[in-house]
Every structure is written in structure tokens, then in C-alpha cells.
């Protein structure tokens, strides 16, 4: 994910493909699917091993990247710090 966010050619191609209306939809879906993946739930609701990569994205310090956890939360009207606190609580509860 980080490679794509730092790849200028990818960014250039992305601008040609996405419209301004697409970005909030993508952020919302990225947030939902990443949280589900971090807790081990697939798109179909099946259980699987929790994704360390998804959890790393959630706790990343790269708060200003366009598709960071923080930016995705903000686009959905959610306070990223409160969401992170809630997710950490549930991660401890269910995995620790």
C-alpha cells in the first residue's frame, strides 16, 4: 500500500481514472474492509487469520496521506482517535 501511495506514476494514472465523487466511496470501503480484515473477517463474513498488514495501516503514523486511516475516518465523519481507541479496546478484548 505504501509503495502505491508514494509512486508518482500510479498517482498520475489514478487521477485519470478517479473522479472527485469516487474518493469518499473508496475511503469508506477501504476503512470498512481494512477493519474487518484486521479482525479476521472476510468480505463474505467468513473467519480467517487477522491481517497484520491491515492493523499496521490502522495504527500508522502517516496521518496526512490521502488514503490513510485518519483520512478515511474523517471522510466518513468519524473521529480517527476515538475510532482507534475503540479498535484497540476490541483487539485487546478479542485477541489478548
Angstrom distance (rounded) from CA 80 to CA 61 = 12
Which among 19, 53, 20 has a CA at the least distance from the CA of 35? Answer: 53
**CA-based radius of gyration for the chain:** 14
pTM comes to 0.75
Q: One digit per residue, pLDDT tens: the chain, 96 residues? A: 554 455 556 556 556 677 778 889 999 999 999 999 999 986 676 788 899 999 999 999 988 899 999 999 999 999 999 999 999 999 998 776
Angstrom distance (rounded) from CA 19 to CA 29 = 16
What are phi and psi for residue 44, nearest 5 degrees? -85, 5
- Partners of 41 in beta bridges: 47
Amino acid at each position: 500500500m505504501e509503495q502505491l501511495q508514494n509512486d508518482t506514476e500510479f498517482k498520475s494514472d489514478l487521477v485519470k481514472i478517479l473522479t472527485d465523487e469516487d474518493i469518499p466511496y473508496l475511503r469508506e470501503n477501504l476503512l470498512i474492509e481494512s477493519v474487518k480484515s484486521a479482525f479476521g473477517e472476510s468480505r463474505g463474513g467468513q473467519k480467517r487469520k487477522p491481517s497484520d498488514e491491515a492493523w499496521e495501516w490502522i495504527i500508522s503514523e502517516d496521518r496526512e496521506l490521502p488514503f490513510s486511516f485518519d483520512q478515511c475516518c474523517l471522510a466518513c465523519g468519524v473521529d480517527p482517535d476515538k475510532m482507534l481507541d475503540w479498535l484497540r479496546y476490541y483487539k485487546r478484548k478479542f485477541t489478548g
